[in-house]
Amino acid sequence: MSGVTLKNAVKRFGEVEVIHGVDLDIDEGEFCVFVGPSGCGKSTLLRMIAGLEETTEGEVRIGGRDVTRADPAERGVAMVFQTYALYPHMTVEENMGFGLKMTGTPKAEIEQKVARAAEILQLGPYLKRKPKALSGGQRQRVAIGRAITRGPDVFLFDEPLSNLDAELRVDMRVEIARLHKEIGATMIYVTHDQVEAMTLADKIVVLRNGHIEQVGAPMDLYQNPDNVFVGGFIGSPSMNFLKATVTGPGKVTVAALDGAEIETA
């Protein structure tokens, strides 16, 4: 297991800067969720950690090692995407072991690691099936199993439940939480769904327009938001905001409440 550190991380596409000097520490074994509205930069930041997007400026460290310019394969990460990306002509067992096979891992070791991942994810009865014979939730578990067999330092999840229906998403959230508890690995999870963030995370990173708005434990963000954006984004139903006018020490009047005067302290 390894922690992840970003130091003044910047990403530009041409002249357009989309990630603006992000500083972030994710502890070893922590479940960290990046959350924010569409276009906030959460998936781009995840891809920078994975090495799928080049970091324009700044530093990315995994386990204390500077991997800013390292290839994705050298970073010790495994990524699970929104799409399952399974090979339809291969069995579950073959899909889960394919990455190891490509790196020349001995067959006996592949079988051992696949069996262990299948046990963790309760996929034992399905190892000889092909993806078309599986449900959406089972396919996503196979994709996660493929990541587990690699034994990465850090797991990266890019909106892995977006293609599932509401009931399956709830079930898979439970599965992912159980997986984290069982293997104790560092996990970084991207979602636009703040309910997922609140139920899964040890630490939430709220992003907007390529900036970090707030970092903290779920209940810290819920009870003590740093600004109006975080207060309105975290929580369901969302926080209500009323315009008020300060009328004296510890007092405001609220137009929406027929000008009622309210004590604030």
- Is there a contact between 60 and 22 (Cβ–Cβ < 8 Å)? no
The residue with tokens 């994810």 is: 121
Taking only the tens of pLDDT, the chain with its 265 residues reads 689 999 999 999 999 999 999 999 999 999 999 999 999 999 999 999 999 999 999 999 999 999 999 999 899 999 998 888 899 999 999 999 998 999 899 999 999 999 999 998 889 999 999 999 998 888 988 999 999 998 899 999 999 888 788 888 888 888 889 889 988 999 999 998 888 899 999 999 999 999 999 999 999 999 999 999 999 999 877 788 888 889 888 888 988 888 788 877 6
Question: Using alpha carbons only, what angle is made at residue 66 by residues 65 and 67, rounded to the nearest 5 degrees?
Answer: 105
Cβ contacts of residue 113 below 8 Å, gap of 6+?
97, 100, 105, 148, 149, 151
Pinpoint the residues of the chain covered by CATH 3.40.50.300: 4-236
Q: Taking the model in full, what pTM does it have?
A: 0.88
In angstroms, the CA 185 to CA 172 distance is 17
**Amino acid identity, position 258:** D
The identity of residue 263, as a single letter, is E
Identity of the residue numbered 131: P
What's 4-236's CATH class?
Answer: alpha beta
